[in-house]
Every structure is written in C-alpha cells, then in structure tokens.
Amino acid sequence: MKINWGELTKGIIRENPIFVVVLGLCPTLAISTQTINGIGMGIAVIFVLACSNFLISILRNWIPNEVRIPAYISIIATFVTIVSLLMQAFTPDLNRALGIFIPLIVVNCIILGRAEAFASKNDPFHSILDGVGMGLGYTLAVTTIALIREVIGSGTITLQLAGVGPVIDLRKYISDPAVVFILPPGGFIVLGTLLAFFQYIKNKKAAKKK
C-alpha cells in the first residue's frame, strides 16, 4: 500500500479546520483564555479524531448508508466519553477549565465532517493520518488564539498541567493587560483578525496566479 503522507500534512496549514475551513468554532473561542487549555483541548481532539476515523474507516463498508450519521455519532461519542473520563481521572484541573466543552467535542463539526468526508471513503491507515493531521492543525490554531489572548489579556503564558509546568509571567513587560481579550469579545476579535490575515494571504496567492 502506498502511503500518502500528504493526508497528514494537509490538515495542518492548507486545510486547517479553523483558519481555512472555519469549522468547530464554539469550543475554540470559549476555552482559548489560557494557553494550556488550547493544548489540552487540542490533544483531546487529536485522540478522538484519530480513534473515530480509524474505527469508522474499518466499518465503512458495513454501516448502511441510511444509518451512517447515527453510527458515526455513537462512535465519536464513545471516544469523547473515554477522553472525558481520562481527563477527570488524571487532569482534573484541565477538566474543570474546559468544562462542558469536553463533552461538546462530540458535536464539533470537524470530527463528524472528517468522518463523513474522509474516513467513510478511505482505508484505515490514511484515515488515521487524516485525523491526526486535522487534529494537529486544530491544536495549532486554538493554541495560537489562546496564546495571543492570554498574553494580551492577562500578561501570562500558562503551561501548567496537573500542577506541573511553568506559568510564565510577562507582567513586568506588559504592565496593564487588556482584560477584554480574555472576555468573549476578545475571542471574536482575535479570530476575526486571524481569519482576515489568512484571507489576505489567499487573495495574494490568487492575484499572483493571474
């Protein structure tokens, strides 16, 4: 079997689920108030994406078309529950910070989207690649947003998980953080600006082609 590594890399930049396809927004804006939240959520999403893509791909020829959506949802929900239980047991502080957005990974359009668009039509190995790639792209996006929001909004970079890790304090350089950035409006502003940036690049590329 020929391995197409492009399936892994496409999700990171070119088809980045948040910046390019603009899916799965709800948790992205809600939890991106601390950098570690972005990383934690990202890892959870990678896990769910990889596992569900894998299982769905294996079963793709067996699941009848009429019930495919409920089937995919059950599988995804199962892995989300597993992640949730693991987080409750091993990283309770992250679990509390991410709150209801952990169970909400189930309805994250990215996961169902990849199941429908890719895993249902491709072999298990490449489905895992696709899942991991998209998950990595997602993690990159959320963490970037969280980093920006946290630095401007609280003047810190929190990388602490289960009591381990640094909390970098930048308040000697940033004397008065703009609190609005860790509040809801800030989320919209940061994502909107980043989207504009990506659209700018897209426009430039299209102009070059002409």
Could you list the residues that contact another protein (CB under 8 A)?
A: 22-27, 29-30, 59, 62-64, 66-67, 69-71, 73-75, 77-78, 80-82, 84-86, 88-90, 92, 100, 103-104, 106-109, 112, 153-154, 177, 179-180, 182-189, 191-193, 195-197, 199-200, 203
Residue 159 CA to residue 37 CA, distance in Å, equals 9
For another protein, the closer of residues 1 and 185 by Cβ is: 185
For another protein, the closer of residues 1 and 64 by Cβ is: 64
Query: How far apart are CB 46 and another protein at their closest, in Å?
Result: 18
Tokens of residue 76, six digits: 């995804």
For another protein, the closer of residues 30 and 168 by Cβ is: 30
Query: How far apart are CB 95 and another protein at their closest, in Å?
Result: 9
Query: How far apart are CB 10 and another protein at their closest, in Å?
Result: 21
CA 39 vs CA 94, 105, 118, 162, 189: distances in Å? 10, 14, 25, 13, 21
Residue 72 CA to residue 207 CA, distance in Å, equals 40
Nearest to 113 by CA among 57, 53, 193: 53
User: Residue 117: what residue type?
Assistant: A
For another protein, the closer of residues 8 and 118 by Cβ is: 118
For another protein, the closer of residues 57 and 154 by Cβ is: 154
Query: How far apart are CB 90 and another protein at their closest, in Å?
Result: 7
The 3-state secondary structure of 73-116 reads HHHHHHHHHHHHHHHHHHCHHHHHHHHHHCHHHHHCHHHHHHHH
Any idea which residue has 């108030």 for tokens?
33
For another protein, the closer of residues 62 and 173 by Cβ is: 62
Burial (CB count <10 Å: 0-12, 13-18, 19+), residue 34: buried
Query: How far apart are CB 9 and another protein at their closest, in Å?
Result: 25
Query: How far apart are CB 36 and another protein at their closest, in Å?
Result: 16
Tokens of residue 24, six digits: 């799965």
The bridge status of strand 156-158 relative to strand 167-169 is antiparallel
